[in-house]
Amino acid sequence: METRGADDIWLIKFYAPWCTFCKQLDPVWHQIGSELKSLGSPVNVGKSDATTNTGLAKEFRVRGYPAILMLKKGVKYNYSGPRTKDGIMDFAHRVGGPLIRSLSSLQLFQHAMNRHDVMFVYVGATSQLKGNYASAAEELIVHTYFFSATRDVLPKAVALPSLPAVVVFKDGTYFTYNEESDGELKSWINRERFPMYFKIDSYTLYAMGESGKLVVLALVKEKDLCEESLRYKSLVEKVAVDHRETYSRNFYFGFMEGSDYINGLVMGEVIVPSLIVINLSNDGYFLPPGAVETERHLLDFLNGVLDGSVQCHGGNSATQRIRRFIYDAKVTLTPVFSQAPLLGCFLVGFPFTILAIFCYLCCKARSNVSDDDTDNVVLLASSQQHRKKTTNKKSD
């Protein structure tokens, strides 16, 4: 921090020596450092023991391990994706490169389209819209790529109502930003930075909470997809594609392999394969009131979610938070009790023992205070009685 140059770019991993996930990431981290160096990337790779360099960890507000961030021109960018080589390398290339990448030819445009599922492009000359676009890119570059181009670079099939314009290309089509109907540019980009239908993992699902949309999920088996899993997947994809205009403002669609993450959300075992709609803004969820066998059934379910006729479960109320805390504790401690009963008893019993000792000491202190008060009352009464006798003697 004291010797780095103003233009130096650093990709840093904060770790703790006792952290299992940090140890698992170590070989991947060395591969990332070696590969970026061999590619001639301007990104420097380093790591810091947060338990030793506490001042540095505090400066970067490290709250969990491993924490991955990039420092570029004094701006900190946090990485929240999967701890994989591909995910971190993509983050390094995206954030370490230009904030807005220029597409100077149709060939470059087509190459970018082939590489990215979602692509935002500013079209036109310098304007206030371009300034807003740059501001949004500075914050959201951790999630997606941003490009700029002139009108003649885009395919002729792309029709723009006016210039300048911001266009998102995804799902084989494109949408143009309209301030009147879409609101603030940054919020619109945040909503549209995911494909309409795709495979979703726990990291992506967590990130989708910022979009403000509900997520329609087909939960399928992880390895061997049975006929029922394939039916749910195709049904959700068909509705996502065929009814894009109706539901794109309110829903994202996708499928997730397994149900471990969703089990934690609903605090129970979810049947797989099945369908669920998740409200990530408040940890709520919707379950179909009946069997979903046809497209009509799924459409009725989604319409019921929108009009409020389908009940929302879960949420983030105080009661739900207490229930989730108890559920998480149960899920965490059950494997411990099954594999090491003595350790489990210690982990559960130790906090209760400390609490019992604390309560005992409080009660004892209160009892001593009460005894002192009683003694004071007795002394006061004796003093008053003595004064009374003295007064009577003087009167005599």
Using a 10 angstrom Cβ sphere, with 0-12 exposed, 13-18 middle and 19 or more buried, the burial of residue 339 is exposed
Residue 236, both tokens: 């959700």
Query: How far apart (Å, rounded) are the C-alpha atoms in residues 36 and 48?
Result: 19
Q: Count Cα atoms within 13 angstroms, Cβ side, for 306.
A: 14
Active site residue 19: yes
Other CB atoms within a 10 A radius of the CB of residue 102 amount to 12
Give CA separation, 75 vs 3, 7, 62, 214, 371, in Å. 17, 11, 15, 31, 62
Which residue in 19, 226, 345, 359 is the catalytic one? 19
Which residue in 22, 312, 359, 363 is the catalytic one? 22
The answer to whether 191 touches 213, Cβ cutoff 8 Å, is: yes
DSSP 8-state symbol, 312: P
Active site residue 226: no
Query: How far apart (Å, rounded) are the C-alpha atoms in residues 265 and 316?
Result: 11
Query: How far apart (Å, rounded) are the C-alpha atoms in residues 211 and 144?
Result: 13
Residues recognised as catalytic: 19, 22
